[in-house]
């Protein structure tokens, strides 16, 4: 009986050590797994917009979540040979008229609705026009489908932006 009790005690000790090791390994991976899941489920971050005509990256837009939970996006910089940091939104008709495009808020008011964000608006700095906007993530959070539309979302167009993983986050 003593032999059985001692054997059981050793087995229990070994199981406790194994469980402790497993919990350390699992626990150390939780932050990484959480960060990956967050990136896959949130458009917050820096995105490359894509030129409709050339298919090349056109600008970097940083999307941030405001304290009220809505999303806002501003132009960090233009990309490519035609980038002019002094370019102004001469076609804008609101308070952004003649303001620098670099640093300009072009996305605003987007609220989460399940896997989508909706109810906001987007500015096209080229034309100065404002459109209703909605967006959703694809490709495990690496692509952002941005849809600008007038009235109903059927009347509009979509662009797919790519998550920029090489730009440090700017607040």
Contact between 58 and 51 under an 8 Å Cβ cutoff? The reply is yes
Contact between 77 and 60 under an 8 Å Cβ cutoff? The reply is yes
Q: Does the structure show a pLDDT above 80 at 77?
A: yes
Q: Is residue 171 part of a domain?
A: no
Q: What percent of the chain has pLDDT over 90?
A: 62
59 and 33 share a domain? no
Q: How far apart are CA 1 and CA 11, in angstroms?
A: 15
H or E stretch at 19: helix 2-41
pLDDT, tens digit, for every residue of 80-91?
A: 877 899 999 999
**Long-range residue pairs from 92-95, CB within 8 A, at least 24 positions apart, any chain:** 92/123, 92/125, 92/128, 93/128, 94/130
Q: Is residue 59 part of a domain?
A: yes
Domain interval for residue 22: 1-41
Q: Is residue 170 part of a domain?
A: no
Q: What percent of the chain has pLDDT over 70?
A: 74
In sequence order, which residues have a C-beta less than 8 Å from that of residue 125 and are 6 or more positions away? 75, 89, 91, 92, 101, 104, 106
Dihedral (C-alpha) 41, 45, 51, 52: value to the nearest 10 degrees? Answer: 20
81 and 151 share a domain? yes
86 and 157 share a domain? yes
pLDDT, tens digit, for every residue of 128-167?
A: 999 999 999 999 999 999 999 998 888 899 999 999 988 6
pLDDT at 167: 60
Q: Is residue 111 part of a domain?
A: yes
The reported pTM is: 0.74
pLDDT at 69: 96
């Amino acid at each position: 009986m003593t032999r059985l009790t001692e054997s059981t005690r050793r087995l229990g000790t070994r199981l406790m050590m194994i469980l402790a090791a497993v919990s350390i390994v699992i626990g150390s991976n939780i932050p990484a797994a959480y960060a990956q899941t967050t990136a896959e489920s949130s458009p917050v971050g820096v995105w490359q917009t894509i030129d409709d005509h050339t298919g090349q990256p056109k600008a970097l837009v940083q999307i941030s979540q405001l304290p009220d939970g809505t999303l806002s996006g501003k132009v960090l910089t233009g990309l490519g040979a035609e980038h002019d940091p002094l370019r102004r939104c001469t076609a804008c008709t609101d308070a952004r008229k003649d303001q620098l495009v670099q640093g300009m808020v072009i996305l605003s008011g987007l609220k989460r609705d399940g896997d989508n964000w909706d109810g906001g608006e987007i500015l096209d700095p080229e034309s100065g026009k404002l459109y209703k906007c909605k967006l959703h993530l694809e490709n495990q959070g690496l692509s952002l489908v941005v849809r600008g539309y007038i009235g109903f979302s059927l009347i509009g167009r979509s662009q797919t932006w790519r998550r920029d993983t090489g730009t440090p986050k700017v607040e």
